[in-house]
Amino acid sequence: MKESSGGTRPRCLVTGATGYIGGRLVPALLDAGHRVRAAVRDPRRLRDHPWADRVEVVAADVRDAGSVRAAMRDVDVAYYLVHALGSGPGFEERDREAARIFGEQARAAGVGRIVYLGALTPDGVPERELSPHLRSRAEVGRVLLASGVPTAVLRAAVVIGSGSASFEILRHLTERLPVMVTPSWVRTSIQPVAVRDVIRWLVGCAGLPAEVNRAFDIGGPDVLTYRDMMRRYAEVAGLPHRLILPVPVLTPGLSGLWIGLVTPVPPSIARPLAESLRHEVVCREHDIARYVPDPPGGALGFDEALRLALRRIKEARVDTRWSSASVPGAPSDPLPTDPDWSGGTLYRDERELTVPVAPDALWRVIEGVGGENGWYSFPLAWAVRGRLDRFVGGVGLRRGRRDRQRLRVGDSLDFWRVEEIVPGELLRLRAEMRLPGPAWLDLSVTRDERGRTVYRQRALFHPRGLLGHVYWWSVWPFHAVVFGGMARNITAAARSAPPRSAG
């Protein structure tokens, strides 16, 4: 193992390393100089994480004492980031049993500290009146604090960051519904917190003094109602003002079903989170700053946390679902391993054809699209789309292209902009037509396992607000003609093109 000037680096065990917080905590711990052991039930689930080759991976189930005992060996700090939310009836008992096993095995292994991320609970409300989700998170914290191992319990409300279930509910409700009939809990006060600050506090807890064994409330500087958060989300995202009409008839159970209908967040997760929103969750203290000092300027405010969470869409990195497979620039960035329902909606139209030509012949056709060469599909449809774009103030098709055969990054190409070129392999275009959301078109050349040339075409669209969704589904019936025809005609042109002269 590597050593720092002060000796061997402390080893941190991270359970729940495939989860939203765990997947962001691991690289932060590595950056802070810690050695990391990632404990997951199925190590294969870590293969797509960009940091997987920098950590020790062990198979462990927190409800299996033997596997937890093995994972705890030689560990200095153990992070408990698992819970049974969404696993059906009896999740409270499963959470309780898992926490008991974790605490017992940590004590037996001589672990120096446990760190647990729990949930902020309302002040003055008897625990029996809490939602099952909040009640279970509070009980897990108590079990770990009583384990005999110094424990830090961080209690947070709504975590703001792409991929957080609470944030994704907020995102989808606000983006999809310009007018909302909502449960009365939209008037409840909440103290949201940016995921960047959550990760910073979690990393800092690895260095707490041994005598610290307590819970800490963590939150951002803003206390808002859920209605305030939806309205401010709309403002930051550039959406029209949202009309929000609270009604008392929507019970927590009904509102959970309502969220499941409107958003792609699974009902098994959405319902317990919705039930918890009826409680006011505001920090009662900020003692964590005595041990993990706030950065200059303090914790991130709600609006800035939103901007960070939405940043990757504006930067238009679409190599995977949202971003490249590299380590994100900040905890608020999406990860390729986040759930499919996170990161907002990204509509796709994908086509793939095998072409009996050399790759360079296909690439010449791809690099020649647009302008006088056209788009190889339903010319009337492209012309009409161009005129409509000009009618609403867009650029239309009048810009053409700089060079009939060659393209460079930054070139305008009708109502597209060349965003990326990998010569002979990829042409990525970003739409500059007037659309209710950003769009891209990828045209690429590759080879299959048999060495044959393959043409791949991918249109991507990120809808902005309800209008964006309506737009996509209104044009979807024409995709087979426009995009399907484009794929067929580009490959046909490559087959019929004369070979390039050697001179």
For residue range 18-45, list pLDDT tens digits in order.
888 999 999 999 999 999 999 998 888 8
SS3 38: strand
Cα→Cα distances 313→81, 265, 322, Å: 28, 19, 7
Q: Is 33:9 a contact under the CB 8 Å cutoff?
A: yes
Q: Which of 66-80, 179-193, 314-328, 468-482 has the highest mean pLDDT?
A: 66-80
d(CA 439, CA 17) in angstroms, rounded, equals 32
Count: domains in the chain:
2
> What's the pLDDT band for 246 if we cut at 50, 70, 90?
confident
Residues 230 and 371 in one domain: no
Q: pLDDT > 70: what percent of the chain?
A: 81
Q: pLDDT > 90: what percent of the chain?
A: 46
Using the 3D structure, point to which of 315, 334, 357 is the last residue of a domain: 315
d(CA 454, CA 466) in angstroms, rounded, equals 36
Q: Find the CATH number of the domain harbouring 427.
A: 3.30.530.20
SS3 278: coil
Short-list 459, 462, 464, CA closest to 478: 459
Residues 43 and 85 in one domain: yes
Q: Could you tell me if residue 324 is inside a domain?
A: no
Q: Which amino acid is at 261?
A: L
> What's the pLDDT band for 326 if we cut at 50, 70, 90?
very low
Residues 297 and 355 in one domain: no
Please report where in the chains the tokens 């947070």 appear, as a residue: 156
Residues 173 and 279 in one domain: yes
Residues 276 and 362 in one domain: no
Mind listing the pLDDT tens digit for each residue in 335-366? 666 766 666 678 889 999 999 999 999 999 99
What's 279-347 look like in SS3? CCECCCCCHHHHCCCCCCCCCCCHHHHHHHHHHHHHHCCCCCCCCCCCCCCCCCCCCCCCCCCCCCCCE
Q: How far is CA 149 from the centre of its chain?
A: 33
Q: Could you tell me if residue 328 is inside a domain?
A: no
Could you count the other beta carbons within 10 Å of the beta carbon of residue 139? 17
Q: Is 234:174 a contact under the CB 8 Å cutoff?
A: yes
pLDDT of residue 327: 40
- Evaluate if residue 165 carries a pLDDT over 90: no
> What's the pLDDT band for 83 if we cut at 50, 70, 90?
confident
d(CA 200, CA 331) in angstroms, rounded, equals 9
pLDDT of residue 27: 93
pLDDT of residue 257: 65
Q: Is 482:378 a contact under the CB 8 Å cutoff?
A: yes
d(CA 389, CA 391) in angstroms, rounded, equals 5
Pairing relationship of beta strands 189-190 and 159-160 according to DSSP bridges: unpaired
Question: Which has more pLDDT, 141 or 270?
Answer: 141
SS3 466: helix
Please report where in the chains the tokens 């720092």 appear, as a residue: 4
Q: Is 167:229 a contact under the CB 8 Å cutoff?
A: no
Q: Is 118:140 a contact under the CB 8 Å cutoff?
A: yes
Please report where in the chains the tokens 């596997």 appear, as a residue: 67
Q: What is the mean pLDDT of residues 162-190?
A: 81
Q: Could you tell me if residue 199 is inside a domain?
A: yes
Residues 298 and 441 in one domain: no
Tell me the average pLDDT of the chain: 84
- Evaluate if residue 292 carries a pLDDT over 90: yes
Q: Could you tell me if residue 45 is inside a domain?
A: yes
pLDDT of residue 199: 96
d(CA 276, CA 268) in angstroms, rounded, equals 13
Q: Find the CATH number of the domain harbouring 64.
A: 3.40.50.720
pLDDT of residue 426: 94
Question: Which has more pLDDT, 281 or 402?
Answer: 281
Residues 291 and 354 in one domain: no
Residue 80 φ/ψ, nearest 5 degrees? -105, 105
* H-run or E-run covering 27: helix 20-31
Q: Is 128:162 a contact under the CB 8 Å cutoff?
A: no
* H-run or E-run covering 235: helix 226-236
- As given in the structure block, the two tokens for residue 178 are 């310009």
Mind listing the pLDDT tens digit for each residue in 425-443? 999 999 888 888 889 999 9
> What's the pLDDT band for 332 if we cut at 50, 70, 90?
low
d(CA 160, CA 167) in angstroms, rounded, equals 5
pLDDT of residue 277: 75
Residues 205 and 286 in one domain: yes
Cα→Cα distances 30→38, 59, 71, 113, 442, Å: 12, 20, 18, 18, 35
**Could you give the angle at the alpha carbon of 308 between the alpha carbons of 155 and 415, nearest 5°?**
150
End-to-end Cα spacing for the chain = 57
- Evaluate if residue 164 carries a pLDDT over 90: no
Q: Could you tell me if residue 323 is inside a domain?
A: no
> What's the pLDDT band for 405 if we cut at 50, 70, 90?
confident
Residues 298 and 366 in one domain: no
| pTM score | 0.76
Q: What is the DSSP track for 388-403?
A: HHHHTT--TTTT-BSS
pLDDT of residue 84: 66
Using the 3D structure, point to which of 300, 315, 330 is the last residue of a domain: 315
pLDDT of residue 335: 66
- Evaluate if residue 374 carries a pLDDT over 60: yes
Mind listing the pLDDT tens digit for each residue in 94-151? 899 999 999 999 999 999 999 999 999 888 788 888 888 888 899 999 999 999 999 9
| E strands in 3-69 | 3-4, 7-8, 11-15, 35-40, 56-59
d(CA 445, CA 107) in angstroms, rounded, equals 56
> What's the pLDDT band for 323 if we cut at 50, 70, 90?
very low
- Look up the domain containing 426 and give its range: 347-496
Q: Is 192:157 a contact under the CB 8 Å cutoff?
A: yes
Q: Could you tell me if residue 336 is inside a domain?
A: no
Q: What sign results for the dihedral spanned by CA atoms 440, 194, 298, 304?
A: positive
Q: Could you tell me if residue 452 is inside a domain?
A: yes
- Evaluate if residue 500 carries a pLDDT over 90: no
Residues 233 and 92 in one domain: yes
d(CA 77, CA 63) in angstroms, rounded, equals 19
pLDDT of residue 1: 32
pLDDT of residue 469: 85
d(CA 45, CA 234) in angstroms, rounded, equals 35
pLDDT of residue 49: 80
Q: Could you tell me if residue 329 is inside a domain?
A: no
Q: Is 137:83 a contact under the CB 8 Å cutoff?
A: yes
Using the 3D structure, point to which of 262, 291, 315 is the last residue of a domain: 315
Residues 276 and 368 in one domain: no
Residues 304 and 351 in one domain: no
**Inter-axis angle of helices 379-391 and 479-496, nearest 10:** 120
Question: Which has more pLDDT, 380 or 211?
Answer: 211
